[in-house]
């Protein structure tokens, strides 16, 4: 969904793109194939970064894969496009290591999303956009509200209904108990949300160049 949504966006010439929580690098590679000139991919996992470098090479695009926590490796930088498919499964706090770091996102599933929404505006160039994908179960309005609070124009641009994935299905009882799922609900909307910065920057560029 996010790859398709990215393909539909207009990028300026010589665009720069950032993929947060890159995993296999699929979104970073897609940004490169879409024409972004400078692509940066961030992940905490060394193995994810090696996979990203390999996938970039196999697809003939340049991606700078850097290790770190969300925006930390790109402090002070702004981008034309930011994309992220972050961990968003409600459950335990994000662990320090291990595979579960790819999906566990705290009690409400927003541990990563809230941080991305809060920091993305300071990393967008004028007219730039951030694209995020997540389940309705972790709060579409919360994402829209957080992006708007940062001065972005925010909308749901893709919505797809389907059966719960394996990770959500495995914890339906606890999700129902906590009111995240309605009793008996076994489907969810997955959405792509776009936040767009005003074409003429409204914030001073003091924090990020
Ligand atoms: C859901 S996977 C995303 C995979 C890929 N972007 C995709 O769309 O297929 C989440 C990724 O986020 C990474 N991650 C988790 N916490 C992170 C953090 N604080 N900063 C950077 N990456 C993080 C994990 O290592 C994992 O590779």
What the block records as the tokens of 200 is 């003429």
Which atom of ligand 1 lies nearest, measured to the CA of 23?
A: 27
Cα→Cα distances 120→82, 84, 117, 124, 140, Å: 8, 11, 6, 6, 17
Residue 132 CB less than 6 A away from ligand 1:
no
Whether 6 is in the pocket of ligand 1, judged by its Cβ within 6 Å, is no
- pLDDT value at 90 more than 70: yes
Give the bridge partners for 19, in sequence order: 41, 83
Return the pLDDT at 81: 98
Torsion sign (Cα): 162, 166, 170, 175: negative
Q: What is the pLDDT of residue 202?
A: 53
Q: pLDDT at residue 209 above 70?
A: no
Q: 100: phi > 0 → left, psi -120 to 50 → alpha, else beta; which?
A: alpha
Test site for ligand 1: of 24, 44, 73, most ligand atoms within 8 A of the Cβ: 44
Domains of the chain: 2-160+192-196 (3.40.50.150)
């Amino acid at each position: 969904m996010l790859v398709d949504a990215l393909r539909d966006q207009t990028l300026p010439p010589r665009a720069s793109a950032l993929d947060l929580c890159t995993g296999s690098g699929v979104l970073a590679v897609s940004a490169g194939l879409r024409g972004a000139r400078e692509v940066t991919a961030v992940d905490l996992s060394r193995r994810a970064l090696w996979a990203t470098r390999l996938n970039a090479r196999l697809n003939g695009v340049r991606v700078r894969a850097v290790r770190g926590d969300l925006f930390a490796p790109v402090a002070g930088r702004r981008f034309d496009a930011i994309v992220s498919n972050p961990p968003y499964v409600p459950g335990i706090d994000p662990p320090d290591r291990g595979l579960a770091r790819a999906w566990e996102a705290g009690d409400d599933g927003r541990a990563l999303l809230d941080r991305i929404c809060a920091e993305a505006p300071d990393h967008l160039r004028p007219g730039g956009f951030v694209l995020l994908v997540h389940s309705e179960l972790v709060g579409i309005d919360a994402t829209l509200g957080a992006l708007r609070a940062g001065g972005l124009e925010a909308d749901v641009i893709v919505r797809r209904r389907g059966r719960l994935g394996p990770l959500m299905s495995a914890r339906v009882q606890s999700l129902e108990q906590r009111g995240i799922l309605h009793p008996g609900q076994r489907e969810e909307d997955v959405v792509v949300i776009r936040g767009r910065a005003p074409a003429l920057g409204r914030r001073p560029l003091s924090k990020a160049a």
